[in-house]
Amino acid sequence: MGKHRDLLQKSELFVVNSFAVSPYFVDLKPANYIFLDQYFTAYDGKQTPIEAVKKTFEHLATDVSWPITIFMPAKSARNSFHLELKKSNPNINICYYNYVVAKGFKWVKHWLFSHNLAMPQCQNILNACIFIAINRKFKNVYLLGADHSWHEQLIVDNSNDIVITDKHFYNEKGKEIEMKSRAHDPKEYGIHKFFELISKAFYSYLVLRSYADSQGVNIFNSSEKSYIDAFERKSIPNV
């Protein structure tokens, strides 16, 4: 990401999840920040099992010195901690999106999508990020760092627990996560469920590509490494 610094600084950026803990956050000053995961959207400023969630909001509160819009699902609109965050830093604006999943006929889905009444199923935060960018009417949207290579860091140990090393560009060593600990129903969680959920994320990109085409929006995957096959690949030097 550092080698594209000049281009990124001139572009309107969307970032997600714990990007705020990265030194790139203050350097690039992204205009848009997207949350969907309940660990972020339900965080009350007090307790969380994920330290990165706490650190993310600490950085948002103290580091943001430029206008930034934080996008949250509408169900978190009453979260008093988020409202206090907005009050404490006048540079922060919070915008709510309607995460209601629509399925069925394409023309019905696209009408609902275009009126912000529904969205594709967003199994991954990037699904939601792309949807918001489409409805913002950008002509071209470029994806960076969308590896989606979780399966490469996956192991099933001798107790049949599924463990994944969660890696990001700002945390290359990664952190081991026992996936059942984050499952809604740990007893029913297994390798089949892991790949089922990943499949939903990849299918959502096909739905988003179809919707983007209908809206005249081009989505390009400029990630150096990526398993997403729904969008045209275009490297940054050719942008």
State residue 42's pLDDT score: 95
Q: In angstroms, what CA-CA distances link 103 with 33, 112, 114?
A: 26, 10, 14
Interacting residues of 89 by C-beta distance below 8 A, sequence separation 6+: 60, 61, 64
Q: Give the Cα separation of 193 and 195 in Å (integer).
A: 6
Interacting residues of 29 by C-beta distance below 8 A, sequence separation 6+: 9, 66, 68
Predicted TM-score of the model (pTM):
0.89
* Backbone CA torsion sign across 12, 149, 57, 5: negative
Q: What are the two backbone dihedrals, phi and then psi, of residue 156, each rounded to the nearest 5 degrees?
A: -115, 115
Q: Give the Cα separation of 46 and 71 in Å (integer).
A: 21
Q: Give the Cα separation of 239 and 224 in Å (integer).
A: 14
Q: How far is CA 98 from the centre of its chain?
A: 15
Q: In angstroms, what CA-CA distances link 136 with 110, 119, 121?
A: 15, 14, 19
State residue 126's pLDDT score: 96
Query: For the packed helices 125-135 and 106-114, what is the interaxial angle rounded to 10 degrees?
Result: 70
Q: How is residue 101 annotated by DSSP?
A: B
Q: How does pLDDT run along the chain (239 residues), one tens digit per residue?
A: 667 788 888 899 999 999 999 999 999 999 999 999 999 999 999 989 889 999 999 999 999 999 999 999 999 999 999 999 999 999 999 999 999 999 999 999 999 999 999 999 999 999 999 999 999 999 999 999 898 888 888 888 888 888 877 665 555 666 677 767 666 777 777 888 888 888 999 999 999 999 999 999 999 999 989 999 999 999 875 55
Q: Give the Cα separation of 148 and 199 in Å (integer).
A: 11
Type and span of the H or E element at 98 = none
